[in-house]
Structure 1
């Protein structure tokens, strides 16, 4: 079913059918030599010499009224899969205004598109097999692609069997793997989820993959009106549960998170632990291939992504970077880490922007690290990296403040904390899940806890929204409990 609001469409399109033109007259300027396109465009506008009727009935929830379009059977038969054997055809659950746009393309190879209607138009063109319009919709989406839309575009490419677009999306995800921690990732179908998580080049820690799979499964339960229990989570995932490379998770993470989630049953957990202890990798349900990025895991810089969504204040401006306000967030870790840097969102309205950046890491009254730089940030990147010249050691259970002063064009911002989106509890012998009250992340055996900083002045960054979306860190070798698998 195709849903799009009347208000959105009417904002961008004229109701051409309301124009009263004599049906049997196709008039052109006397001195003009009309082309075939001119004639087809005039036929579309006037319905001159029409021999077929298409009645379009909108969804019951839509305020539009049904409309009948007088068209030309030959063109409809050549350019779509609409049956033309009779004198009339009815299309249900479709916006008449949206259909008018599709009809314009059938006649003229032209269609006025905006980002508000391009996805519903793509769905309609796929439903009615208007291939040229389907391709135009993809071109529109690709040319205006932002990283939060990559998963949506990937899913549309799957439905249209556009392998070229799928590969482009995979490249984008390889370049910006934190996409799997955003809300757009949760919109994937089960098939799309399985395909993306099977990528060997997905450059994230396996604990991030597990948490993202759990987030997707929780939403899957909600879509099906199922209670969020371990049994139902497993049911909505099916064999996609084994796209997680459990063998490369730390023993601590398996014990404290995986086992408590109930996603694997006791026999599967026993098999997993036996494989890890033996160091032998038999072929079976547990994938043993290590993701390509992670050949030297103890030396790799890890990424912690704070937010589920990237927003742009489409209706109420953008994230202000006036150079006077201070955005700040407080961070506590359960084990020592080496903080390597942070990332910032880039400009919303321009392709790139020059920014004055002042970044401080504070431990109480002490300034542990300070960077004052000028940097060019790009809109095409999901996030822009600021790396410290040397990693800074953060000690366990110390509260640190990350303070940012940013001057430049308005930016995107993050929203909805991407904390452990589930915590488990046993109820009548079953594992059930609930939302935590504080933004806490368990990654690489380290618990990261964020809180609102008292050092923010005029800035709006907090645990729920704002700047500083990613933390880059290393786990010191002596603190990494992962056993080497030979």
Structure 2
């Protein structure tokens, strides 16, 4: 080992740099601000330190360098600019929420990534439904993909609360378009429609227009109206809206929407027909009529399904088939539903217990299909296997259950997203059968 030298952590340079923050005595560049009171404020800085920004470096030392020692700033206040300068001088930066838009703008203007990243973290820590639109708008404006995805996830998880927020009601039409084009909104389309009507009424009130005039509402929405996924509504729900908002829909629009609600394959020329969620229907209709009865393990009362997705997605609902009991009676039973991720390399036995994601106890009617909706979507990671387990209550474990549905081993749910079903490796279980019939995903 070399004993002729040591490495010593020297904090003096940082201390010296911090001492220079806003120091007029040593400054060689001043940023000038003209206030409404006709007062001129100057903020001191140092060219060599600011050259950490490629924009400042070109400004002070590039071929077209400015020879003056004064730069006028018109897109930030003195306090906002001082806050921005912290990133050049201080090891610990304090950001104020109210200054975030201006700071993010300065970070973009002067190409300071650490500044934009800090503003993103500040947004994540402080955003609520009441200011979510501001964060989303900034993310889009400054191409902050991380913050954009964060806002979209929060909006999608809490759409009912979001569409009632003042932040949404006051948002600009361009931002509303981004919101309506989200395919991940976890709600009935009626929630989206109600939100749009409230937004249009708010816009009318702000402009002094009659908010109960249907033509005014349509005028405010413009072509955003066609981003509402009316095809995701039931015919009854739409008819109720048509009665309540008489005059909102033209005759052609009315016919198109009725056709959409009745026929999933109908494609109108104007309305957005893309579903906000995807359904994996694994029932093979061609083989089911001749399939042999599938009986799951009556001794343990457990049925397994193992699946994977080639893309990361969100699981929101599952559906399982009706039970056919071998005593030909209808039983009102309770089933425990579990969803878990299978850690790579583990076996489905009692020696290794997979990490549980969700467990729910539900009452089912064995004479009809049962839909289970999760309170929060389950993240399904690409190419990872997940197991869904149905455990029948002990009182009925001695009664063998069966269904006659044959299932597909792979299902394309759209846009190249493939759901594949795997052999669970459990006795009496086969990937071509099982109680699970549908998986509902959110894009």
What TM-score results when the alignment is normalised by the length of structure 1?
0.46
CA distance in 2, matches of 1:223, 1:93: 27
CA distance in 1, matches of 2:270, 2:89: 53
Hey, what does 1:159 align to over in structure 2?
A: 141
Hey, what does 2:179 align to over in structure 1?
A: 196
| Preserved contact between residue 32 and residue 42 of structure 2 (Cα < 8 Å) | yes
Hey, what does 1:67 align to over in structure 2?
A: 41
Give ranges in structure 2 of 5+ residues lacking alignment: 1-8, 61-65, 282-359, 364-443
| Preserved contact between residue 33 and residue 77 of structure 2 (Cα < 8 Å) | yes
Alignment of 1:115-264 (within 5 A): 115-178=97-160, 179-222=162-205, 228=211, 229-258=213-242, 260=245, 262-264=247-249
Q: Does 1:271 align with 2:256?
A: yes
* 2:95 match: secondary structure: coil
Tell me: CA distance 1:129–1:231, structure 2 relative to 1, closer, same or farther (3 Å): farther
Give ranges in structure 1 of 5+ residues lacking alignment: 1-31, 297-386, 391-486
Tell me: CA distance 1:219–1:42, structure 2 relative to 1, closer, same or farther (3 Å): same
Hey, what does 2:267 align to over in structure 1?
A: 282
Q: Does 1:89 align with 2:71?
A: yes
| Preserved contact between residue 23 and residue 45 of structure 2 (Cα < 8 Å) | no
Hey, what does 1:479 align to over in structure 2?
A: none
CA distance in 2, matches of 1:200, 1:234: 23
Tell me: CA distance 1:132–1:109, structure 2 relative to 1, closer, same or farther (3 Å): farther
CA distance in 1, matches of 2:361, 2:83: 52
| Preserved contact between residue 125 and residue 131 of structure 1 (Cα < 8 Å) | yes
Q: CA deviation at 1:144?
A: 4.1
The number of equivalent residue pairs is 267
CA distance in 1, matches of 2:219, 2:167: 22
Tell me which of 28, 48, 57 is aligned to 1:51. 28
CA distance in 2, matches of 1:215, 1:92: 37
When Rg is computed on C-alpha atoms for both structures, the one with the higher figure is 2
* 1:46 match: secondary structure: coil
Cα deviation, 1:82-110, whole Å, max 9, x if unaligned, reads 65524322222632122211122233354
Alignment of 1:83-482 (within 5 A): 85=66, 86-92=68-74, 94-108=76-90, 110-178=92-160, 179-222=162-205, 228=211, 229-258=213-242, 260=245, 262-276=247-261, 280-282=265-267, 284-292=269-277
CA distance in 2, matches of 1:242, 1:288: 9
Tell me: CA distance 1:116–1:288, structure 2 relative to 1, closer, same or farther (3 Å): closer
CA distance in 1, matches of 2:249, 2:76: 43
CA distance in 2, matches of 1:224, 1:126: 33
Cα deviation, 1:102-159, whole Å, max 9, x if unaligned, reads 1222333542124444445334444554432221121122234445444432222112
* 1:161 match: secondary structure: coil
| Preserved contact between residue 201 and residue 293 of structure 1 (Cα < 8 Å) | no
